[in-house]
Chain A
Amino acid sequence: MGKKILLEHIDVPGIETYDVYRKQGGYTAVEKALKTMSPDGVVEEVKKAGMRGRGGAGFPMGMKWSFLAKPEGIPRYLVCNADESEPGTFKDHYLMKNIPHLLIEGMIISSYALGANKSFIYVRGELMYVIRILEKAIAEAKAAGFLGKNILGSGYDLELVVHPGGGAYICGEETALLESLEGKRGNPRNKPPFPAVKGLYQCPTVVNNVESIATAGWIVNNGGDAYAAIGIGRSSGTKLISASGHIKKPGVYEIELGVPVEEFIYSDEWCGGIRDGHHLKALVAGGSSVPILPANLITKLANGEPRLMTYESLSDGGFQTGTMLGSGGFIVFDETACVVRNTWNFSRFYHHESCGQCSPCREGTGWMEKVLHRIEYGHGSMHDIDLLVDVSKKIEGNTICPLGDAAAWPVASAIRHFRDEFEWHITNPSEATKPGAVFKGDMALV
Chain B
Amino acid sequence: MEDIKPQLFKVTIDGIEVEVEPGTTILQAARKIGGDVAPPAMCYYQPLKGSGGKCRACLVRVAAGSGKDPRPMPKLVASCITPVQDGMIVENSTNEQVLTTRKAIVEFLLINHPLDCPVCDQAGECDLQNFAFNHGMATTRYEEERRTFEKQDIGPYIQLHMTRCILCYRCVYTADQITQKRVHGVLGRGDASEISTYIEKAIDNDFSGNVIDVCPVGALTDKTYRFKNRVWFTKPVDAHRDCPTCSGKTTVWYRGDEVIRVTARKNEWNEVTEFICNTCRFEKKKTSDWVIEGPTKISRSSVISANKYRADTIKPDFQKKLAAATYTHVDDERDTSQLGIQQLPPERFAPVLPHANDPEP
| A interface with B by C-beta (< 8 Å) | 168, 170, 185, 190, 351-360, 362-367, 370-371, 374, 387, 394, 397-400
Contacts and interface: CB of A to CB of B under 8 A. Distances in A.
B111 A367 contact: yes
14 contacts: A354-B189, A357-B169, A359-B55, A360-B56, A360-B108, A363-B109, A363-B112, A363-B191, A371-B144, A394-B104, A394-B108, A397-B75, A398-B76, A400-B78
Nearest to B194: A356
Contacts of A353: 189-190
A319 to B, nearest CB: 14
A398 B54 contact: no
B306 interface: no
Which of A351, A357, A365 is most buried by chain B, counting CB atoms within 10 A of its CB? A357
Contact of A400 (B54, B107, B169, B188): B54
A360 B189 contact: no
Interface in B96-126: 101, 104-105, 107-109, 111-112
Contacts of A394: 101, 104, 107-108
A359 B189 contact: no
B141 A387 contact: yes
Contacts of A400: 53-54, 78
B188 A356 contact: yes
Interface in B21-71: 52-57, 59
Given A362-B167, A387-B141, A394-B104, A399 B56 contact: yes
Contacts of B144: 367, 370-371, 374
Given A370-B144, A387-B141, A397-B76, A354 B53 contact: no
Q: 6 tightest CB-CB pairs across the interface, nearest first?
A: A394-B104, A356-B193, A354-B190, A190-B53, A363-B108, A370-B144
A159 to B, nearest CB: 30
Contacts of B111: 363, 366-367
A360 B110 CA distance: 11
Contacts of B186: 185, 356
Given A366-B191, A398-B59, A357 B54 contact: yes
Which of A185, A354, A359 is most buried by chain B, counting CB atoms within 10 A of its CB? A359
B101 A359 contact: no
A366 B107 CA distance: 13
Contacts of A190: 52-53, 78, 81
Contacts of B1: none
Contacts of B101: 394, 398
Contacts of B330: none
B353 interface: no
Given A190-B78, A367-B111, A168 B59 contact: no
A269 to B, nearest CB: 39
B166 interface: yes
Given A394-B108, A398-B101, A356 B75 contact: no
Contacts of B191: 351, 354, 356, 362-363, 365-366
A172 to B, nearest CB: 14
Nearest to A383: B141
B192 interface: yes
A359 B105 contact: yes
Contacts of B55: 358-359
B142 interface: yes
Contacts of A367: 108, 111, 142, 144
Contacts of A360: 56, 104-105, 108
Contacts of B75: 397-398
A399 B77 CA distance: 9
B84 to A, nearest CB: 13
Nearest to A169: B189
A354 B186 CA distance: 14
A398 B56 contact: yes
Contact of A355 (B56, B59, B105, B189): B189
Given A190-B78, A190-B81, A359-B105, A366 B190 contact: yes
A344 to B, nearest CB: 14
A123 to B, nearest CB: 20
A95 B23 CA distance: 44
A400 B169 CA distance: 15
Contacts of A351: 190-191
B59 A359 contact: no
B109 A359 contact: yes
Given A357-B54, A358-B55, A359-B109, 14 more contacts: A352-B190, A356-B167, A356-B193, A357-B167, A358-B56, A359-B57, A359-B105, A367-B144, A371-B144, A387-B141, A398-B75, A398-B105, A400-B54, A400-B78
A367 B104 CA distance: 13
A374 B107 CA distance: 20
A388 to B, nearest CB: 11
Contacts of B192: 356
A359 B78 CA distance: 13
B59 to A, nearest CB: 6
Nearest to A359: B108
B256 to A, nearest CB: 40
Interface in B110-152: 111-112, 141-142, 144
A168 B56 contact: no
A371 B143 CA distance: 9
B338 to A, nearest CB: 42
Contacts of B57: 359
Contacts of A364: 108
Contacts of B188: 356
Contacts of A387: 141
A374 B144 CA distance: 9
Nearest to B188: A356
A176 B201 CA distance: 28
Which of B52, B56, B107, B190 is most buried by chain A, counting CB atoms within 10 A of its CB? B190
Contacts of A370: 144
A176 to B, nearest CB: 11
Which of B105, B108, B109, B193 is most buried by chain A, counting CB atoms within 10 A of its CB? B108
Contact of A358 (B54, B104, B112, B141): B54
A359 B44 CA distance: 13
A77 B284 CA distance: 52
Nearest to A190: B53
Contacts of B107: 394
Which of B142, B166, B191 is most buried by chain A, counting CB atoms within 10 A of its CB? B191
A367 B105 CA distance: 13
B277 to A, nearest CB: 29
A116 to B, nearest CB: 26
A436 B142 CA distance: 29
A429 to B, nearest CB: 16
B190 A359 contact: no
B136 to A, nearest CB: 13
A393 to B, nearest CB: 8
A64 to B, nearest CB: 19
A355 to B, nearest CB: 6
B53 A365 contact: no
A356 B112 CA distance: 12
A184 to B, nearest CB: 10
A255 B188 CA distance: 40
Nearest to A357: B54
A356 to B, nearest CB: 4
B144 to A, nearest CB: 4
